[in-house]
Chains A and B, each alone.
Chain A
Amino acid sequence: MSRSFITPKPKPLFSLFSKIWLIFIGFTFCLMALFNFFILYKISAFQSQSQQLITLREEYRSKIESNDIQIAFIEHQKATAESIYASNDILRESIKNLFDLVPDQITLSRVVMEKSALVLYGRTPSKETYNFLLASPLRSIFHSSNTVFYLDSDGWYRFVSTNKIIDSEGFNE
């Protein structure tokens, strides 16, 4: 038996107005949380990329060091080779100049070239020819120049000329 004139209505916990507000607040909250997570993701991505860049840079630095060592070594090899080739050229020129220095009248029988000394053995028609044509240029090149003559049976002179350069690196340095 009913005791009321109106039929009972269901009473929800939240009214439609409250629901709309709560949904709106919840949606805004979610949107902001999503934005926040996006920022956090970007921060983490930047951190990871920065770390990768640091590792890459260290790798580049070690490659640069290795390249520097190789460059220095090749340049050292180049300098050594050039100094050796130059030394050979100077030696060639020195020997050439020496033979050009000897006049036709004088015959050399033996030449000994040391680092800073030159010993010439040969024959000359006269001491004057030797002194005039060979001794003078030798004296202008070497610091000390001594010659010993021996009279030969045919009237020519055998000579031994010892010439030295003091404090020198040698003919090819």
Chain B
Amino acid sequence: MNRYDKSLEEFNLIKLLFFLLLFLVITLFMVLALIVPNIKEHKRQKAMHQFELTTTQRVEAVLNEKEAHLHHLRTENRKVVEAFVARFDEERFVRYVSEFFEEVSLARLEQKEFEKDFTMYELKVTSLLETPVKFYNFLESLKRYEGIIKADFPIEMRAEGRLIHATFNIKVFALAR
């Protein structure tokens, strides 16, 4: 500090007022020209962000709900979903049917599209059975088979000695590949 500087002791009032005015002008300019518009923009962006956040949280909640529903459906219908995906194996089916009938044979009739998403194979089953009860049991057991199978017409049962000769159609449903 200059020891000869007497500006603090002998300050000029005009100079003081000039600096005060300069200070006020600069502050006012900064506040009005920059800070106020930016604060307004900040408020607008904050509100917009809050809106986006709330909307996204709602959409996320819907997504979580859907995912939980999908998971529940997948778990609950796992057997059905797997059954539609399973590839139909004629030999395995004959082995399965042999648990109920004797002398089972299969003949493939046709394959066509079913309800856009599925393929349907139609087969004719020829077999011998001891009592009609075996046929009821077979129809009942189709629920537990690894594929989706529908027993269909025509169904013919003919007495052959002590046995019943049965001929019927089955429709095997699988996902269209």
List A residues at the B interface (Cβ < 8 Å): 9-10, 12, 15-18, 20-22, 24-25, 28-29, 32-33, 35-36, 39-40, 42-43, 46-47, 49-50, 53-54, 56-57, 60-61, 63-64, 67-68, 70-71, 73-78, 80-81, 84-85, 87-89, 91-92, 95-96, 99, 108-115, 170-172
Contact = CB atoms under 8 A, between A and B. Distances in A.
Given A16-B8, A50-B45, A24 B1 contact: no
Contacts of B15: 17-18
Going nearest first, the 7 A-B pairs with the smallest beta carbon separation are A15-B7, A17-B7, A46-B45, A92-B139, A21-B19, A53-B52, A67-B66
B59 interface: yes
Contact of A43 (B12, B38, B66, B84): B38
A71 B66 contact: yes
13 contacts: A16-B8, A36-B30, A43-B41, A46-B42, A57-B56, A60-B60, A76-B117, A91-B139, A95-B135, A95-B136, A96-B136, A108-B159, A112-B156
Interface in B36-91: 38-39, 41-42, 45-46, 48-49, 52-53, 55-56, 59-60, 62-63, 66-67, 69-70, 73-74, 77, 80-81, 83-84
Chain B's interface size range is 35 or more
Nearest to B131: A99
Contact of B69 (A32, A71, A172): A71
Given A28-B26, A49-B49, A112 B150 contact: no
Specify the main secondary structure of chain B where it touches its partner.
helix
Nearest to A82: B80
B155 A113 contact: yes
Contacts of A112: 154-156
Contacts of B49: 46, 49-50, 53
A47 B82 CA distance: 47
A95 B155 contact: yes
B100 interface: no
A18 B15 CA distance: 8
Contact of B142 (A25, A53, A71, A88): A88
A67 B63 contact: yes
Contacts of B80: 77-78, 81
A18 B45 CA distance: 41
A99 B135 CA distance: 12
